[in-house]
A = this chain, B = another copy of it.
Amino acid sequence: METTKKHSLVEQALLFKMMNDENRLKILLYLYEEELCVCNLIDLLNMSQPAVSQHLKKLRQASIIQIRSQGQWKFYRLNEEYTHLELLNKILAELPSMKHEVDGLNSNGRRVFCTTIPTK
């Protein structure tokens, strides 16, 4: 029976569906570097908050990313339990690195307000 194989292909096709959109692909590349706050993804992608939010929702529903709350912020990261994480990692490793862009958040202070533990 080929049920398993076919099911696997359908699942993997969903991954490609998620990578189909260039902005979602960028999100994955950013998160491949490190966990990031929504506000920083908005900044990096230079797009509207609801647009980013909806892309994140799709990636979440596909179990590709995970969310973590910290105060009023939401941090997203790649889901270490994603069924096809190995495939995803192999692909992302082949694509242009976003390290410089992500590091840029620190060097020009754009990230501070968001990753700092709430002053209290």
Contacts and interface: CB of A to CB of B under 8 A. Distances in A.
A47 interface: no
Interface in A1-45: 2, 5-6, 8-10, 12-13, 16-17, 19-20, 22, 25-26, 29
A116 B13 CA distance: 33
Interface stretch (A62-70, A75-83, A87-95): A87-95
A96 interface: yes
Copies of this protein, total: 2
Interface residues of A, number: 24
A1 B80 CA distance: 33
A68 to B, nearest CB: 27
Contacts of A9: 22, 25-26, 29, 95-96
Contact of A8 (B22, B25, B96): B96
Contact of A16 (B2, B16, B87, B100): B16
Nearest to A29: B9
A42 B94 CA distance: 32
Given A19-B16, A20-B16, A5 B96 contact: yes
